Chains A and B, each alone.
Chain A
């Protein structure tokens, strides 16, 4: 048996719920290990979507998050996890973090005004864990992180989810935070993804848009370190104003966007996973638009099945 990675599919809660459920069933049948349900202020409420997914699936683990500690209190986040676990058993993981700067700003929350974010996230983690422990709920708590400062607290978590895809960025982040050596922490990546047999132009554009959103919201420190800051400066400024998405996209070179997405053929996937595995990454989540259609979910599931990174046990 070859090396083992676990794989997740990111669930986009902008889609019609019925479609989300249908694709969740397909993903489970294709033996994906996780479905990660996002929770952004402009999307359907993650815990309700997670509850519906749990009701139509049996074995797949469901990750809830990223849940922003600036949008929800620790008690509210723990409540969601406890209510889900009471109804469907210990099938849930949680990912917490600050959340997307721009999305939060749209709902009246400023990340910049939050004092000592790292301490706040650690305090939230402790409270959530304590509530769940008292309720007898077992769930892994992941940190959603990107910049080196935030990665500095990753060792207090069960796992960390990085939202970039380029192996050299991942290696650098793990080296700096000295995470690869820590056995108790699972290291995962969660990026916009489009793994395909034949590329569809519409989906290529969707992948580009999603990756651009991540790139624009990325930590300035990370962007500077990898020489991306200057190339993104204009797009970041445009995003603060009311510029149209098309013109923002035009301002970002394709090679920059590639740092933040998994866009490749099913045949290329194996090599990419091998690189991640060498870096001690053990969990890979394929984000939007991989769940765009039944077909894109199937293409991914079948490609993973062919790779020898898939766990035999399930």
Chain B
């Protein structure tokens, strides 16, 4: 039984879970490979909509400064919360992340959130960065950031970061929420223990499981109240075959980078996934997209008409998401797609 909203698209979240719905916050997602002028335009557009926030994701290894873009977004959408979702301490010195976040927080003291993660495996590989221990990388980074922001003189010697009697000279700012962008069970538990929120992405059945892992961890540590679960999936409005092909391409890209632990937790056919991953490796994403079935499409993307997308968002809220994010890739017309989702959200 699926959560159907008059579309032909399958929502794999059980329909019973959609009953007694808790509405989540809706945010707009952009990524740093978009031009800054486009981000400024979308932020201005978001300012006049029910979007509660804007998340700017870092496309690691591509051109675009995620912190400048977040600054531009906040200038164009002054009433919206702005988040970096995510940047990695493996690609920037921790002092750079600390002072960029502090600068963004300083002018909008309650509006900025910092998302941290290790980054996509393929992206790190391309940059020649070896990922050794993601849990200690994120633990150390989170601790170092908080101590830097508190104005402490800090000496820190860890595998992924070194500070030697370092002290920030800007105004101390101890209140920047840190969201971890994580996927595996160990890192999810870590987020529940040390972070202010978590940014989740992955196949829909996997999300059902991980939200409960995090909620359990939060309950165990008495932290459930001040913690936010953000779910950010590739979302796009589908009107025609071309849009559908784009959706499959997006799904193929996501599947190619999905870690085995995530696939296992989602209980998806290994064979179907393996076909797509092999095709992506040998023939590129276009070739892999041809192997994406309707089922895989619905598992790895939120695609369909606007009402369907909002239905899935509401299902995610029922699962326990506090915030859901629309876009990218949005759809063939970005502006129309955003407007359609905003309208559907208003109707819901």
Contact = CB atoms under 8 A, between A and B. Distances in A.
Contact of B93 (A16, A43, A55, A109): A109
B167 interface: yes
Interface string B7-35: 00000000000000000000000001001
A111 interface: no
A109 B94 CA distance: 12
Interface string A40-82: 0111110111111001000000000000000110011011101
B92 A76 contact: yes
A13 B163 CA distance: 21
B170 A43 contact: yes
A268 to B, nearest CB: 30
Q: How large is the interface on B (under 10, 10 to 19, 20 to 34, 35 or more residues)?
A: 35 or more
Interface of A: prevailing SS: helix
Contacts of A52: 71, 75, 103, 107
B226 interface: no
Given A13-B170, A87-B40, A44 B68 contact: no
B100 interface: yes
Interface string B53-97: 000000001011101110110010000000000000000111110
B194 interface: no
A106 B169 CA distance: 13
A303 B163 CA distance: 42
A107 B64 contact: no
28 contacts: A13-B103, A14-B169, A17-B103, A17-B107, A41-B99, A42-B167, A43-B168, A44-B100, A45-B99, A45-B103, A48-B100, A48-B103, A49-B103, A51-B71, A51-B72, A72-B92, A76-B65, A76-B92, A78-B63, A83-B32, A83-B64, A83-B69, A86-B37, A105-B164, A107-B94, A107-B164, A108-B162, A108-B164
B93 A41 contact: yes
Contacts of A76: 65, 92
Given A71-B93, A86-B36, A108-B161, A44 B63 contact: no
B106 interface: yes
A50 B36 CA distance: 14
A29 B166 CA distance: 37
Contact of B68 (A41, A83, A107): A83
Nearest to A14: B169
A84 interface: yes
B95 A42 contact: yes
Nearest to A56: B75
Q: Please give me the 5 A-B residue pairs with the lowest Cβ-Cβ distance, nearest first.
A: A108-B162, A45-B100, A86-B36, A83-B68, A48-B103
A18 interface: yes
Contacts of A107: 93-95, 162-164, 166
A42 B169 contact: yes
B279 interface: no
B336 interface: no
Nearest to A70: B93
A84 B65 CA distance: 8
A242 interface: yes
A220 interface: no
B67 A86 contact: no
